[in-house]
Amino acid sequence: MDIKDKVDSLIKQYDTNNPFKIAEAMDIVVRTIPLGKILGFHTRHSRVSIIHINENASTEQQIFTCAHELGHAILHPGVNTPFLKFNTYYSTSKIEVEANTFAIKLVFRNDMSTSITIKEAAESYGVPEQILIKNFYD
């Protein structure tokens, strides 16, 4: 199952594209804490997945970060991921590219066919336009 199919399946199963609600339904703990310049990260300890999100990030950045880290929790369950920073969006690491793709397919699921532009989405969610363009036209 590819990433888009996985996202579609999750949205159908949980009747939402809200990453916080999906994480809660999957018993993944989400913590918002002060993280300085770090947007978030995912850890797994004793079979408990935890998504850590910077409480000082904007609401939109928290949503995207939660979706990105949820992607790690689902696609890379045995891997503790490095801290997500803005420059992580440009990573060529396979797991980071997959988590970005997962997050974009999840968060922008409803917005892809509405009036939001790529530029508006990039500015609102703090995601580089190039990353959105690559995934919107895949």
- Domain limits of the chain? 3-136
What topology is assigned to 3-136 in CATH?
Arc Repressor Mutant, subunit A (1.10.10)
pLDDT in tens, the chain (138 residues): 799 999 999 999 999 999 999 999 999 999 999 999 888 998 888 889 999 999 999 999 999 999 999 999 999 887 766 665 544 555 567 888 899 899 999 998 765 556 678 888 888 787 878 877 777 666
26 in Cβ contact with 106 (< 8 Å)? no
pLDDT for 6 = 96
pLDDT for 102 = 95
Question: What's CA 99's distance to the chain center, in Å?
Answer: 6
Residue 17 phi, psi dihedral angles, 5° rounding: -110, 15
pLDDT for 113 = 55
